[in-house]
Amino acid sequence: SQQGEEDPQALSIQEGENATMNCSYKTSINNLQWYRQNSGRGLVHLILIRSNEREKHSGRLRVTLDTSKKSSSLLITASRAADTASYFCATGETSGSRLTFGEGTQLTVNP
Amino acid sequence: DTGVSQDPRHKITKRGQNVTFRCDPISEHNRLYWYRQTLGQGPEFLTYFQNEAQLEKSRLLSDRFSAERPKGSFSTLEIQRTEQGDSAMYLCASSLWGTANTEAFFGQGTRLTVV
């Protein structure tokens, strides 16, 4: 079963705009990770944020985590056509046994 | 290339046949995971190993599925008597558990089509 729920399911923006995707989850977590997946390919790890962190940056990516609301957001600034992909959040359980994925947000960046 | 490697990338098989997939994790990683992903869905956890020990199996992993990691390095996932519902992308990931860096890195996947 999926723990995370991404919102929106699909997002279409113009190149240069910012894209924000949200993820909600249900149980206590050790960490939350964001992945990108191009069509038919494997998942590329983007960023990991630990449960005791509130914000993290990596290049054009900004991730926030609110454990009280059990939610996270991924912001991609100054989007490019190459950012077109599906984005998934995955929660790492406190037991450390597995990552549980949401159903993803399909991002389309129009040139 | 020092990433996670999966073989084959694509497999087409007839219903009822057995198939085996291989995963080579990042060499120093002690954890190895198998996931299954169908079109339009997120990956679903199947099983994971810490070194050679299989520590957890999902209810999704029916008796027709078996996974091994005999020497704590590469792993194989076998599906016996394949069914059309087994058609999916099978993803392998590895991580280094026990350190501050617990990111899981994925391979490119094996796409299985059962006809």
pLDDT of residue B97: 79
- The C-alpha atoms of residue B40 and residue A33 are separated, in whole angstroms, by 19
pLDDT of residue A15: 97
pLDDT of residue B83: 96
Are B45 and A100 a contacting pair at CB < 8 A? yes
pLDDT of residue A1: 43
Are B42 and A45 a contacting pair at CB < 8 A? no
- The C-alpha atoms of residue B85 and residue B105 are separated, in whole angstroms, by 26
Are A43 and B102 a contacting pair at CB < 8 A? no
- Contact of B30 with chain A, judged by CB distance below 8 Å, is answered with no
Are B106 and A31 a contacting pair at CB < 8 A? no
| Rg, Å, chain A Cα set | 13
Q: What is the pLDDT of residues A28-47, one digit of tens each?
A: 888 999 999 998 888 999 99
Are A98 and B45 a contacting pair at CB < 8 A? yes
pLDDT of residue A95: 65
The torsion defined by the Cα of A65, A69, A70 and A75, in degrees rounded to 10, comes to: -40
In sequence order, the 6+-apart residues with CB closer than 8 A to the CB of B90 are: B6, B21, B34, B35, B36, B37, B77, B109, B110, B111, B112
- The model's confidence at residue A5, banded by pLDDT at 50, 70 and 90, is confident
- The model's confidence at residue B45, banded by pLDDT at 50, 70 and 90, is very high
- The C-alpha atoms of residue A100 and residue A72 are separated, in whole angstroms, by 14
Q: What is the pLDDT of residues A95-111, one digit of tens each?
A: 667 889 999 999 999 99
Residue B2: how many CB atoms within 10 A of its CB?
Answer: 8
CB-CB neighbors (< 8 A) of A96 in chain B: 97, 102
Q: Exposed (0-12), middle (13-18) or buried (19+): which is A81, by Cβ within 10 Å?
A: exposed
* Farthest CA pair distance, chain A: 43
Mean pLDDT of chain A: 91
Whole-Å CA distances, A65 to A35, A48, A111, B28: 15, 10, 30, 29
Q: In a 3-state reduction of DSSP, which class is residue B87?
A: coil
∠ CA A15-A4-A6, rounded to 5°: 25
- The residues on A that touch B, with CB distances below 8 Å, are 2, 4, 30-31, 33, 35, 40-45, 48, 88, 90, 92, 96-104
In this model, does residue A74 exceed pLDDT 90? yes
- The model's confidence at residue A13, banded by pLDDT at 50, 70 and 90, is very high
Q: In a 3-state reduction of DSSP, which class is residue B91?
A: strand
